[in-house]
């Protein structure tokens, strides 16, 4: 059988599933005990105790019927009531319906047994006084009310056992959940630390809990330390390479500036400047935002500041719809770099750009749109690769980049737990770059 539909109703979180694992067996045990013990044991005991009183009730009804008149019948009923430990009154108004509570499980057996064995009994009331059984019996001298203690026909009310079972089960489930929560808390902390590291944040974490959880936590710490060391070593190495390359490039620029200005020296100077820009952008791509700590940042204010700086630099950039995002843990310098790269691409390949901010309770989305030629859907994956140059879809004659802008933005988005999505702009007709950031 296919039980895939059950997944929609199952808890998603670890605490919810753990609670379900605890509650489901307890409820199952309660149902089994209720069916097996209450139905069989209590019903059997109740039936035997009720049968034990039938002979006394039949004797009482027979003696009343043998009385020649009503007064004699009353005296016989009073006399037998004392000896049989019950109360008989006649004549009374005859009721025509049985009454019992729905939860009175043993009461159903009492009523059924009395009706099956004693024909004169017309109505049985178990509600007016839960400690008594009140019966209306038809006699030759009118209706007679017979009242006897409930404990004579049933050992106890089964619902009392149910209440005790439910209370005990709830108490034990609560104790088990509190204990299990202490075991689940280290797993939750490990998940939070892993999620934060995936978003580029470093949170304090110490392995705790069961042996297997401690082992997983220690493996996570080793992995995180190894990745951080690799990022640091890569950044330091590339910084050194960049510095070493800048030195001969500076000497070449100085030597060219000392030469007479000709077409050849101008071309060589342009090549040196391109090499300088290539080194700077490659270092920016390799460094990413690894050296910056996440701090509370207002995304809307950051977008407005980037647009203002681009406008002052002479770029045709406007601010679109900006939703109030509030503060979130972000790397402002990295996000500024990513937005600047996206805006630079937009104004490089188009004539104008627009920056918008959309928010949800869990995400922040920066949209950078332009009116340029855009990127074909088939080339989107290639566009975000380092050093990608899409000649068919972009005007390369106007380009002065080296194909790292989208790659840098993608890495920064991933370091915040998000992504970069490229599609066609519905309003401007060019490219729409959606930089999604997880809060």
Q: What is the CATH number of the domain that holds 146?
A: 3.30.450.300
- 404 vs 408, residue with greater confidence: 408
User: 115, 144, 159: which is the final residue of a domain?
Assistant: 159
User: 159, 184, 214: which is the final residue of a domain?
Assistant: 159
In a domain, 232, yes or no: no
In a domain, 72, yes or no: yes
- Share in percent of the chain as helix, strand, coil (round to 5): 60, 15, 25
User: 129, 159, 189: which is the final residue of a domain?
Assistant: 159
Inter-residue contact 117 to 107 (CB < 8 Å): no
Give the number of other Cβ atoms within 10 Å of residue 394's Cβ.
23
- Report whether pLDDT(11) > 60: yes
The reported pLDDT for the residue numbered 396 is 44
Inter-residue contact 335 to 302 (CB < 8 Å): yes
DSSP code for 417: T
In a domain, 192, yes or no: no
Q: What CATH number is attached to the domain comprising 397? A: 3.30.565.10
Q: Which residues, at least 6 apart from 103, have a Cβ–Cβ distance to it below 8 Å?
A: 159, 162
**SS3 at position 351:** coil
The reported pLDDT for the residue numbered 412 is 84
In a domain, 270, yes or no: no
Q: Where are the alpha helices (DSSP H) in 118-157?
A: none
- Report whether pLDDT(62) > 60: yes
Is 153 found in the same domain as 296? no
The reported pLDDT for the residue numbered 87 is 92
The token pair at 303 is 């977008």
The reported pLDDT for the residue numbered 184 is 82
Share of the chain above pLDDT 90, in %: 24
Q: Using pLDDT thresholds of 50, 70 and 90, give the confidence band for residue 392.
A: very low
Q: Using pLDDT thresholds of 50, 70 and 90, give the confidence band for residue 258.
A: confident
- Alpha-carbon gap, residue 283 to 237, rounded angstroms: 10
Would you give the end-to-end CA distance of the chain in angstroms? Answer: 41
Q: Using pLDDT thresholds of 50, 70 and 90, give the confidence band for residue 246.
A: confident
The reported pLDDT for the residue numbered 290 is 53
- Sort 331 into a burial class: Cβ within 10 Å, 0-12 / 13-18 / 19+: buried
pTM: 0.51
In a domain, 139, yes or no: yes
Inter-residue contact 128 to 147 (CB < 8 Å): no
Q: Using pLDDT thresholds of 50, 70 and 90, give the confidence band for residue 2.
A: low
The reported pLDDT for the residue numbered 397 is 43
Strand partners, 34: none
The reported pLDDT for the residue numbered 389 is 61
Inter-residue contact 347 to 317 (CB < 8 Å): yes
Q: Which residues, at least 6 apart from 353, have a Cβ–Cβ distance to it below 8 Å?
A: 310, 315, 316, 317, 318, 343, 346, 347, 368, 369, 370
**SS3 at position 357:** strand
What residue numbers bound the domain in which 347 lies? 292-438
Is 151 found in the same domain as 9? yes
In a domain, 186, yes or no: no
CA torsion through residues 258, 261, 265, 271, sign: positive
In a domain, 194, yes or no: no
The domain total for the chain is: 2
Lowest mean pLDDT among 61-65, 147-151, 213-217, 274-278: 274-278
In a domain, 429, yes or no: yes
- Write the DSSP assignment of 57-120 as a string of letters: HHHHHHHHHHSSSHHHHHHHHHHHHHHHT-EEE-S-PPP-S-B--TT-HHHHHHHHHHHHH-TT
């Amino acid at each position: 059988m296919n039980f895939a539909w059950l997944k929609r109703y199952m808890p998603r979180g670890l605490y919810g599933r753990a609670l379900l694992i605890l509650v489901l067996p307890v409820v199952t045990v309660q149902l089994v005990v209720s069916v097996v013990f209450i139905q069989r044991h209590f019903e059997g005991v109740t039936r035997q105790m009720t049968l034990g009183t039938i002979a006394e009730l039949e004797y009482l009804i027979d003696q009343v019927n043998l009385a020649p008149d009503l007064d004699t019948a009353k005296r016989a009923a009073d006399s037998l009531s004392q000896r049989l430990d019950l109360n008989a009154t006649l004549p009374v108004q005859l009721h025509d319906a049985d009454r019992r509570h729905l939860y009175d499980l043993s009461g159903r057996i009492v009523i059924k047994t009395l009706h099956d064995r004693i024909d004169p009994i017309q109505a049985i009331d178990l509600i007016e006084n839960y400690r008594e059984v009140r019966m209306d019996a038809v006699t030759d001298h009118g209706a007679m009310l017979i009242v006897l203690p409930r404990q004579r026909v049933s050992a106890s009310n089964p619902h009392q056992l149910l209440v005790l079972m439910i209370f005990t089960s709830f108490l034990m489930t609560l104790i088990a959940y509190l204990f299990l929560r202490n075991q689940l808390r280290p797993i939750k902390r490990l998940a939070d630390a892993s999620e934060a590291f995936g978003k580029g944040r470093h949170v304090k974490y110490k392995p705790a809990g069961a042996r297997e959880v401690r082992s997983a936590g220690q493996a996570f710490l080793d992995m995180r330390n190894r990745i951080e060391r690799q990022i640091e070593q890569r950044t330091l190495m590339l910084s050194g390479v960049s510095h070493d390359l800048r030195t001969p490039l500076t000497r070449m620029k100085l030597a060219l500036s000392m030469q007479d200005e000709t077409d050849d020296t101008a071309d060589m100077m342009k090549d040196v400047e391109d090499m300088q820009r290539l080194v700077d952008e490659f270092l920016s791509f390799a460094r990413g935002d690894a050296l910056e700590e996440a701090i509370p940042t207002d995304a809307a204010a950051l977008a407005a500041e980037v647009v203002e700086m681009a406008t002052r630099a002479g770029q045709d950039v406007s601010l679109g719809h900006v939703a109030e995002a509030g503060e979130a843990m972000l790397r402002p310098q990295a996000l500024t770099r990513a937005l600047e790269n996206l805006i630079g691409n937009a104004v490089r390949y188009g004539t104008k750009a627009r920056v918008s901010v959309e928010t949800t309770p869990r995400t922040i989305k920066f949209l950078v749109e332009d009116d340029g030629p855009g990127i074909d859907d088939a080339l989107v994956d290639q566009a975000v690769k380092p050093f990608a140059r899409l000649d068919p879809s972009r005007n390369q004659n106007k380009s002065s980049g080296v194909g790292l802008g989208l790659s840098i933005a993608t890495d920064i988005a991933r370091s915040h737990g998000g992504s970069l999505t490229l599609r066609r702009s519905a309003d401007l007709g060019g490219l729409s770059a959606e930089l999604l950031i997880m809060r």
